[in-house]
Structures are given as C-alpha cells and as structure tokens.
C-alpha cells in the first residue's frame, strides 16, 4: 500500500465495451489527499477509467476485463456502485447529469443516498456544500434544469460531496464552460482538496488540470503513455506540444492540422 491508508490503486486495468477495448493495462495511483490528473483527447478512455473505478461501467454496456482497483487496501471489484460510494469514492459524471426536474436541494439529498453517516453528518455535508457554492443555497427550491451550465456543474460536484467522499472522481468539470467559470470550478476543486478530499481529475483542459494536480498521467487510446509529477509533465515538450498548444518552430508548420486532430489545442486557445 505504500504506506498511504486511503490511496486509490489501479493495477493493470483493462476494460471495454463488447469488442471495443477502451483501456489496456492501465495502472495509476492517487495518494491520500492528493490531486491527480489524467489527460487525454477524445476517446482516450478517460471516462471509461472513472466508470471502472466507480463500478458504473455496466450502466454503459461495458465491463472490466482484467486488473484490479482498490481503495484504502480494499478491493472495489465486485462491489455495487452504492457500496463504492459507501467506501468513500464518489463520481461526478461527464456532462453533469443533474436531475433537471428535481429541485437543487433534492439533487443534493440524492447525493447522500447510500452514503454512510447519520442525519447530523448529512446536515454537515449540506452546510459544507452551501459554503462552497452559495448559489446552491440561494436556488435550493428551484428546478436544477433552470441553472446555468456552470451552476449545474457546481450542483453535480455538490451532489457528489454530499456523500462526504475521501476521493472525488471528476470527469471533465471544465467541459463547455466559459474560461471564467472554468477557473471558478478549478478554485473550488483546490478548496475541496484543501479540506482533505483526494481528487482524481480527468480533463482535456490540460492547462487547468496541470495547475491543480501534483501528479499527472497521459492516456492515449486506452494506454498510459506518460506519467510523472505534474510540473514535469507541464514542462515536457511532448505534453506542451500535444496538450498545451505550445508549438516549436518545426511543429509550427503543422499547427493548423494539429488543432483539427487535437481539439484540445483549439479549446485551450479559446480559453486564453
């Protein structure tokens, strides 16, 4: 266990959807209390990785083929998704997926279902969420579908926090948000982590993710191709060129086609 009691350990994980192999022998670790990011373009397998950890892959027609996932030394393989939440791991799915016709407050309450803890614990979790996102208190009785995209992202994060997780799995929280809103979400992730929750953040927005994380992995077509301290990856030519939109002289000629083949580059440029 490397001495870290509540670390997430993914070892040699392969997963797919029927004949489609989406992850190949992926290994990674999130130490207790850390922010770790997984970078990768469209279809790299980022969402599949989070679904495999949260045991929700079957809802998407997928399955883990081999390998192990453990949290705090306990194997998560074979657990039902609500048991994974009870074990301290909550996921914020891609695309937010708030319950649009339910109120903001009921969405938050839904996040506490299946979680450990008595009423007082859940009330404390609600208070914490309202402190992090005051807008969710202001809009408590409105339907979630009436919130802006950024507010819905806050609600999705808040809902996951209602289970008082030790590890938060975040699937592209900045997707589709204006740069200012993405920056606010980033600040909140930092705050959540400062309060003691570890974070596994998958992102196409590498610039944002590398600022938040201490360690990063690059996933390409289902395989980890690079990993290391986030600062080292941020400085690496390969990552700068492919994921941060920084082009050298030689690559400049290819820049136009690069933004087409790597949508992350154009998105990063828009955000500047």
Ligand X SMILES: Nc1ncnc2c1ncn2[C@@H]1O[C@H](COP(=O)(O)OP(=O)(O)OP(=O)(O)O)[C@@H](O)[C@H]1O
Residue of 25, 60, 83, 116 that binds ligand X (CB under 6 A): 60
Using the rule CB under 6 A, which residue among 2, 3, 19, 42 binds ligand X?
42
Q: Using the rule CB under 6 A, which residue among 14, 37, 48, 107 binds ligand X?
A: 48
Q: Is 47 a residue that touches ligand X (CB under 6 A)?
A: yes
- Strand-pairing partners, residue 90, are 168
Q: Nearest distance from residue 47's CB to ligand X, in Å?
A: 3
Rule CB under 6 A: say whether 25 interacts with ligand X.
Answer: no
CA angle 34, 188, 123 (to 5 degrees): 95
As a whole number of angstroms, the distance between CA 48 and CA 67 comes to 14
Among 1, 12, 25, 43, binds ligand X (CB under 6 A): 43
Work out the number of other CB atoms within 10 angstroms of the CB of residue 196. Answer: 9
Shortest spacing between CB 236 and ligand X, in angstroms = 20
Residue 84 tokens read as: 């994974």
Of the candidates 9, 10, 37, 45, which one interacts with ligand X according to CB under 6 A?
45
Does the footprint of ligand X cover residue 46 (CB under 6 A)? Answer: yes
Q: With binding defined as CB under 6 A, does residue 19 bind ligand X?
A: no
Query: What three-state secondary structure class fits 207?
Result: helix
Rg of the chain on CA atoms, in Å: 18
Q: How far is CA 262 from CA 91, 156, 171, 204, 266, in A?
A: 26, 27, 19, 10, 8
Stretch that binds ligand X, among 15-23, 102-110, 239-247, 250-258 (CB under 6 A): 15-23
- Please check whether residue 200 is in contact with residue 168, taking contact to mean a CB–CB distance below 8 angstroms: yes
61 near ligand X, rule: CB under 6 A? yes
Q: Which residues bind ligand X (CB under 6 A)?
A: 17, 20, 22, 40, 42-48, 60-61, 94
């Amino acid at each position: 266990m490397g001495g870290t009691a509540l670390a997430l350990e993914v070892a040699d994980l392969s997963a797919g959807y029927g004949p489609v192999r989406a992850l190949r022998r992926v290994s990674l670790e999130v130490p207790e209390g850390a922010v770790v990011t997984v970078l990768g373009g469209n279809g790299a397998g980022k969402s599949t990785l989070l679904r495999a950890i949260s045991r929700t892959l079957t809802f998407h027609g997928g399955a883990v083929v081999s390998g192990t996932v453990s949290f705090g030394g306990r194997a998560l393989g074979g657990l039902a998704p609500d048991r994974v939440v009870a074990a301290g791991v909550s996921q914020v799915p891609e695309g937010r997926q708030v319950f649009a016709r339910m109120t903001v407050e009921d969405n938050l309450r839904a996040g506490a279902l299946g979680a450990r803890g008595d009423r007082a614990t859940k009330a404390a979790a609600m208070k914490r969420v309202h402190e992090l996102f005051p807008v969710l208190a202001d809009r408590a009785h409105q339907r979630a579908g009436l919130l802006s995209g950024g507010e819905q992202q806050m609600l999705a994060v808040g809902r996951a926090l209602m289970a008082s997780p030790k590890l938060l799995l975040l699937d592209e929280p900045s997707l589709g948000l204006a740069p200012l809103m993405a920056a606010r979400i980033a600040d909140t992730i930092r705050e959540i982590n400062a309060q003691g929750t570890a974070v596994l953040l998958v992102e196409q927005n590498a610039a944002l993710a590398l600022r938040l994380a201490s360690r990063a992995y690059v996933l390409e077509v289902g395989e980890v191709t690079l990993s290391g301290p986030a600062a080292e990856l941020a400085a690496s030519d390969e990552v700068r060129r492919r994921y941060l939109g920084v082009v050298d002289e030689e690559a400049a000629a290819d820049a136009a086609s690069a933004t087409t083949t790597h949508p992350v580059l154009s998105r990063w440029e828009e955000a500047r």
